[in-house]
């Protein structure tokens, strides 16, 4: 069985790709839920004032994944910084909850904010 990091990593990569393309609608479609609308996501990223890029592969090696105790279904809190053209490793972060479903892991967007 794949490790939880190996299950979450491709989903996070896909989200960062969509955000780098400024496709906020598609980003929301990829998620199993979000408290942010596509318009909210766009406003947050535009107000940050940097150009979101797809991170290099090594950026994903240290995903901050914390298991949520006694959760059913099993859940993990995941925080991953963005990558920008101007800064590289950014202080803007993506926060999601990974949820174990019958057909695999799905993500719920909790927030995008500056650490």
Q: What is the Cα–Cα distance from 22 to 54, expressed in whole angstroms?
A: 11
Each residue of 44-65: pLDDT tens digit? 999 999 999 999 999 998 899 9
3 state DSSP class of 45: helix
Is this structure's pTM higher than 0.85? yes
Q: Which percentage of the chain shows pLDDT scores above 90? A: 92
All domains of the chain, ordered by start, with CATH? Answer: 4-114 (3.10.450)
Q: What is the mean pLDDT of the chain?
A: 95
The strand order across the sheet containing 75-84 reads: 64-67, 75-84, 88-101, 104-114
Q: What is the pLDDT of residue 1?
A: 55
- How many residues in the chain? 115
Task: Work out whether the CA dihedral 52, 30, 93, 55 comes out positive or negative.
Answer: negative
Mean pLDDT calculated for residue range 99-114: 94
Note the pLDDT tens digit of each residue in 70-93.
999 999 999 999 999 999 999 999
């Amino acid at each position: 069985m794949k490790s939880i990091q190996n299950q979450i990593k491709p989903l996070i990569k896909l989200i960062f790709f969509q955000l780098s393309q400024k496709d906020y609608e598609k980003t929301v479609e990829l998620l199993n839920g979000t408290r942010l609308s596509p318009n909210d996501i766009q406003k947050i990223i535009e107000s940050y004032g940097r150009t979101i890029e797809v991170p290099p592969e090594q950026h994903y090696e240290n995903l901050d994944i914390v298991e949520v105790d006694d959760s059913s279904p099993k859940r993990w809190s995941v925080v991953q910084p963005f990558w920008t053209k101007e800064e590289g490793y950014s202080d803007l972060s993506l926060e999601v909850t990974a949820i174990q479903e019958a057909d695999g892991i799905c993500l719920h967007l909790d927030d995008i904010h500056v650490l």
